[in-house]
Structure 1
Amino acid sequence: MAIQIYILSKLIEGNNYPYELKRQLSEPIPFDEFAGLTESKLYYHFEALTKQGLIEVVEVIREEHRPDKQVFAITEKGRKELPKKIYSLFEKSKAVSEMIIGLATLDYVDRDKVVLILEEKLQKHKERWNHMAAFREMIDVDESRMNFVNFMSDYFDSKAEHTAHWIEETIERIKQGKI
């Protein structure tokens, strides 16, 4: 979904072709490598978006001794669908790292709605974390397994605190207009 959001957001800015979008994503920082985005994956998503009617070919550039370049544009349906895809990304993300493309495309959505989605996500995260902590207290562990249980408890507590911290930080930065 993130790749499709990236493509749609770039096509709102202007018509473009797949190879150029991949090049833009790789310079100056190779985000395409970090995300494992290959040309074949990118072309797959262009094809999927075309089948959904969200983008369309508007020009074919033919150059001698080079493959044809298909130039794409976003359709009206694509413009309407982009915010829905961004909201869905925030709703489905389990960590801030999964929200990066959504955060990069906040200009295409209502920031207050994103904040509400994240506040609800944070509340559910804390409820789940508290439930698990209460459950741990009820477990009767024999002495031989106590070190392992303590290790796992520390790990998951740290991970839960980290996730909560960064969701809170993301909410605050969106509210302050720093993202």
Structure 2
Amino acid sequence: MSIQIYILSKLIEGNNYPYELKRQLSEPIPFDEYTGLTESKLYYHFDSLAKKGLIEVVEIVKEEHRPDKQVFAITEKGRKELPEKIYKLFENTTEINEMMVGLVNLKHVDRDRIVDTLEEKLQKHKEKWELIRESASQLKVDDSKQGLVDFISDYSLSKAKQTEQWLEELIERIQNHKM
């Protein structure tokens, strides 16, 4: 879904072709390598979006000794679908790093709706970890495994606290238009 949001958000800014979007994603920081985005994956998503009627070919550029370039534009249906894809991204992700393409495209959505989604996610996270803490306190472990249990517990709780802090920070920044 993130790749499709990226494509639609770039095409809403202007017509473009797949290779150029991949080049933009790789310079100056090679985000394409970090995300594992290959040309074949990118072309697959362009094709998928075109089949759904969200984008369309508006021009074919012919160059001597080079393959033809298909230039794409976003359709009206694609303009309407972009915010819905962003909302779904926030609803379905569990980690903040999975939300990045949505965060970059907050201008296309209702920020209050995103904040509501994140607050709900934060509340569920807190409830889940409170239940885990309560359950862990009732756990009986023999002395030979106590060190391992303590390590796993400390690590997990530390990670949960960090997630909680960053969700709170993210909510605040979106509410205060710091992003």
1:17 alignment partner in structure 2: 17
2:22 maps to a residue whose letter is: K
2:148 alignment partner in structure 1: 148
1:111 alignment partner in structure 2: 111
1:168 alignment partner in structure 2: 168
SS in 2 for 1:16: coil
> Are residue 79 (structure 1) and residue 79 (structure 2) matched?
yes
Find the aligned partners of 2:163 and 2:69 in 1 and give their Cα distance: 42
**CA offsets 1:2-44 (integer angstroms, 9 cap, x no match):** 0000000000001100000011111111111111111111001
SS in 2 for 1:56: strand
Find the aligned partners of 2:52 and 2:159 in 1 and give their Cα distance: 38
SS in 1 for 2:16: coil
1:133 alignment partner in structure 2: 133
SS in 2 for 1:72: strand
2:132 maps to a residue whose letter is: M
Find the aligned partners of 2:178 and 2:31 in 1 and give their Cα distance: 21
1:45 alignment partner in structure 2: 45
Instruction: Report the Cα offset of residue 147 of structure 1.
Output: 0.6
2:71 maps to a residue whose letter is: V
1:116 maps to a residue whose letter is: D
Find the aligned partners of 1:98 and 1:167 in 2 and give their Cα distance: 13
Report how many aligned residue pairs link the two structures: 179
**CA offsets 1:143-166 (integer angstroms, 9 cap, x no match):** 111111100000100110111111
**CA offsets 1:100-147 (integer angstroms, 9 cap, x no match):** 000000000001110000000000001001111111011111111111
Find the aligned partners of 1:137 and 1:119 in 2 and give their Cα distance: 27
1:100 alignment partner in structure 2: 100
Identical counterparts, % of pairs: 67
Tell me which stretches of 4 or more aligned residues in structure 1 moved more than 2 Å.
Answer: none
Any stretches of 5+ residues in structure 1 without a counterpart? Answer: none
1:56 alignment partner in structure 2: 56
Find the aligned partners of 1:178 and 1:67 in 2 and give their Cα distance: 43
**CA offsets 1:87-107 (integer angstroms, 9 cap, x no match):** 110011111101000000000
